[in-house]
A and B are shown apart, each in its own frame.
Chain A
Amino acid sequence: MVLKWIIGLFKVLNSNQNPAEIAAALAFGIWLALIPAGNLMWFFLFFLTFFLKVHQGTEMIVLAVFKLIAPLLDGVLHPLGYLTLTFGPLQPFFTWMAAQPVLPLTGFNQTTVMGGFVAGLILFIPLLLLGLFLVKLFRDRLMASIQNSKLYKAFMNIPLVKSIVQAAGTVSRVVPKLS
């Protein structure tokens, strides 16, 4: 599964997929990873990405990877969320939210949820720009050298990888030499 995701990511990077979609997938993936799941806020954000031009595969890979390390950031997310939730000028707004139907189900009053949300929001634009930069860097500079590297060739010659690649229909563009 992980292998499939990695190959899928390479496919996207090597294709003409809009870099903004990949960069947005990176930003949303990290944002979703930072917010603890199991509340309406997480689901809302998650389903929002389905209606936006965000590359879902990339988002899933980023989400899966960063979800593993997100708990380590609780020490930062908790105080950030606590500061936000106890920030005086926002108190009326949060009180209003708490009094509304449905909105409390977002778990906004949970410090790590709010911390993750705020951190993701702050990081969104920088991550978007970083994503754009990285995709461009990869496509312009790294793609050719990676494709020509012995390690890459050896990896792509693994039977399992071959079968996955063929099943994914990535024949000519990703591994032109194999086709």
Chain B
Amino acid sequence: MSAKLKGLLSKPLQEKKYQQILKKIYVTKDRELFQASFKKGENGVYTPKADLTEETVKSLNKIGDAVKKNAGFGVNAGNLILAGVVIGGVLVFSVVFKNPLFAQAIRLGLQSVFHAKADVSGVSVSLLQGRVKISHLAVADEMSPMKNLVELGLVEFNLSTDALLRGKVVIESMRCEEIRWNTDRKTWGGLSASKKKKANSGEKKAESQSGKPLLALPDFSKINAGEIFSNAMSELKSPAVYSNANVTMVETTNRWAARLASAKKSYDDAAKQAETLKKINVSAIKTLQDAQNAYNQINSALPAFQRLKTEADQMSGDFSRDSAAAKKIADEASAALSADQKRLFSSVQVPGGVGKIAGSLANVYLSEKLGAFYTYALQAKKYAFALKGSSAQEKKAPEPQPVRRGGSKVYFPTRDYPAFLLKLMSVSLGEKSSPNFTSVRLSEVTSDPYYTKAPMMLAFTNRTDGVGLEVGAGLDIRTNAAETVSVDFSYGQFSFAFTNGLDTVGIKKLSAAADVATTFALSPAGVCSGVLKVNLSGLALDREETTDLVKTAIAETLLSEPKISLSATYRISSNETLIEIDSSLDEAISRRVGKLVNDLVARAEKELQTLLDRSVGPELSKYAELTRAYQSIEGLVSGRSRDAASYTQMVDQKKKEIENRIAVLKKQGEDQLRDEAKKRLNGGNIRVPGL
């Protein structure tokens, strides 16, 4: 036997040990091999048999190894030690490298929220006390990567260890010794090169949009009525309209003159006839024969009078129609003249914006500044949503869940920290009552606004020599929030200067000090609306050399006003900016510039009127003459009509009179006959019944 038994089986085995080994051999064949390989001596000790083959020895050694492995009380001591070493190593690593690890975690966290580089240095963490110190922290501005959005000096904050053990970051309080905004960076603060290009192109676009003129004022000192008139000549319609009207009037007048002439004989005959009939003295007619003759004379003349009346009525109707047509032409001509006058005067009219010059100028500046507010509000909203992530949702009361695959959560009443919560950060430099004071206060900044049930709040004060900036802002990203961002902003004695759009009023540069106050809100739909109030003082102008009276008047008005107040109501969304501005300056400008402009305009209008009159004059005079001629025709026509009517009436009257006279004469004749007959009968004693 070249191979030897090793380990557990290399030594003689006592009875107890032998039984223990036998108990731990679980394969029957192996147990039998083990039993067959050992013999029990007289002293009760088991020793290996001498004739064991090499193969048997190998098998026994493997059995021995397996038995050794099966020893113990159910705990894998080796793995336990290994795990202890690993955990210990991790703990040591964490302790040794906790500061750089925390620095990296803070850096990545800030970068994910602000989408720009964050620089964190001098991080010192005390896990047991839950205290973190950062000697310097700077977050770049995503929109301007060469600027820092905020830069902090020494920052100390206390973390809630309870929340930290639940994997949540809750900052109980935060203290900061120095805070600065919009500081310059030495390195690019964007997170990627593509964004760098985008930011550059955005800047260029902004540059190209600035400086465009927004108000176009005519140069009133250079009004040339003759030039305006000659330029507008081709567009004037009244001369042509009056010329056409005159042609029509001539044609109409001639036509009626001819018609009246042709009817003249009939009227003259009728007049003679009427005169003859008028002379018949009905009361002088004594006999029936004379009456009958007069009656026949009237009857024979009557149809001619009736015909004349019909013709006169016809003529009157025709004339009325022609008169209506002539009136229409007259109206058209008059309207054309008015339109031409209006067109000419419009060339020298004051544009509606003149009275709103201050508003228009302020609009240029405010569009930029309020646009920046809007951008900041959107940016704040974006940061808040980035902080919120997808974890925070409206908390609902736990409800019994139906049986379904995948299961559901059962909620227990407990305090559930949000992933991130900054309860309070307060920085103040200087005494609150002193003229130089800076203070920043951030509260309830959280990844889960439903936890705090309140908006995130920012209060910022920066006062130098008693004046400066004050901001109070609320940021509410809960789905049912009425306003996502609400801001109260005021800036005292804010010095500014601007040039955009001023060249239109003859000013190169305007500078002033302003007290600015605004309250605005950003709705969940992304519409920003608010009211801005500005009080300007110490206005200074850099003026252009100009002869323009209006520009001069505007500039002088600006300088003469000691204080200018301005109120702007604005509404800004992603696709439009609406700003309505009212200013005390507008009234002053309206007063001063308005009078000047009105005088200039009145003078120009007078000149233009003269030119227009000169242009339309001949046709207009002719038209007036024709109108007079036409009006005389109108008199003739109506006279004829009246005559015809009176003739007919007179004949009818005469006819009735004669008829009455005949009746009277008849009655008289009858009465005479009766009296004669009575006499004769009374003489002959003849009685006639009824007499």
Give the interface of A toward B (CB within 8 A): 14-21, 36, 47, 50-54, 71, 74-75, 77-79, 81-82, 85-86, 91, 94-95, 97-99, 101-102, 104-105, 109-113, 115, 135, 139-140, 143, 172-173
Decide if B83 touches A78 in the complex (CB within 8 Å): no
List 30 A-B residue pairs with CB atoms under 8 Å apart, sorted by A's residue number.
A16-B26, A16-B30, A16-B67, A16-B70, A17-B66, A17-B69, A19-B26, A47-B83, A50-B83, A51-B75, A51-B79, A51-B80, A51-B83, A52-B76, A53-B72, A53-B76, A74-B404, A74-B405, A75-B403, A77-B407, A78-B407, A82-B401, A82-B403, A86-B410, A98-B414, A101-B166, A111-B407, A111-B410, A113-B407, A140-B28
Partner of B401, one of A16, A18, A111: A111
Binding site for A on B (CB under 8 A): 24-28, 30, 58-59, 62-63, 66-67, 69-70, 72, 74-76, 79-80, 83, 162, 165-167, 400-401, 403-415
| Nearest CB of chain A from residue B394's CB, rounded to whole Å | 19
Whether the Cβ atoms of A85 and B24 lie closer than 8 Å is: no
Smallest beta-carbon distance A95→chain B, Å:
5
Q: Identify whether the interface residues of B are mostly helix, strand, loop, or mixed.
A: loop
A50 and B76 contact, CB distance less than 8 A: yes
Question: Quick one: closest A residue to B25, CB to CB?
Answer: A16
**B400 CB contacts on chain A under 8 angstroms:** 82, 86
User: Which residues of chain B have C-beta atoms less than 8 A from A112's C-beta?
Assistant: 406-407
- A143 vs B28: C-alpha distance when bound (angstroms): 11
Name the A residues within 8 Å of B167 (CB-CB).
Answer: 105
- Decide: B409 and A110 in contact? CB cutoff 8 A: yes
- Which among A15, A75, A135 has the greatest number of chain B C-beta atoms within 10 A? A15
Number of A-B contacts (CB under 8 A): 114
Residue of B nearest to A116 (CB): B407
In the assembled complex, the Cα of A78 lies from the Cα of B403 at a distance in Å of 7
Please name all residues of chain B whose beta carbon is closer than 8 Å to the beta carbon of A75 when the two chains form the complex.
403, 405
User: What is the bound-complex CA distance between A161 and B138, given in angstroms?
Assistant: 62
Out of B67, B79, B403, B413, which one reaches A50, CB within 8 Å?
A: B79
Contact of A99 among B25, B26, B27, B415 (CB under 8 A): B415
Q: List residues of chain A with CB within 8 A of the CB of B69.
A: 17
State in angstroms the CA–CA spacing of A85 and B28 once bound together.
48
Given the complex, which residues of A lie within 8 Å of B58, measured CB to CB?
172
Instruction: Tell me whether A98 and B405 are in contact (CB under 8 A).
Output: no
Which residues of chain A have C-beta atoms less than 8 A from B413's C-beta? 95, 98
In Å, the complex CA distance between A99 and B162 comes to: 10
Measured in the bound complex, the distance between the Cα atoms of B410 and A121 in whole Å is: 20
Please state if B76 and A71 are interface contacts (CB–CB under 8 Å).
no
Known: A15-B27, A16-B30, A95-B412. A104 touches B59 (CB 8 A): no
- Do the beta carbons of B75 and A53 come within 8 Å of each other? yes
Asked if residues A81 and B407 are in contact (CB atoms below 8 Å), the reply is yes
**Minimum C-beta distance from B305 to chain A (A):** 118
| A147-B624 Cα distance, complex, nearest whole Å | 136
- The residues of B that contact A47 with a CB separation of less than 8 Å are 83
Q: A53-B75, A77-B407, A78-B407 are in contact. Are A16 and B66 (CB under 8 A)?
A: yes
Q: A17-B70, A51-B79 are in contact. Are A82 and B410 (CB under 8 A)?
A: yes
A111, B409: Cβ atoms under 8 Å?
yes
A54 to B75, CA, bound (A): 9
The residues of B that contact A77 with a CB separation of less than 8 Å are 407
Please indicate which of the listed interface residues B24, B407, B413, B415 has the most CB atoms of chain A within 10 Å of its own CB. B407
A72 nearest in chain B by CB position: B405
CA distance in complex: A118, B408 (Å): 16
Q: How far is it, in angstroms, between the C-alpha of A99 and the C-alpha of B165 when the chains are bound?
A: 12
A168 to chain B, nearest CB (A): 14
**Contacting pair A52 B74 (CB below 8 A):** yes
A94 touches B412 (CB 8 A): yes
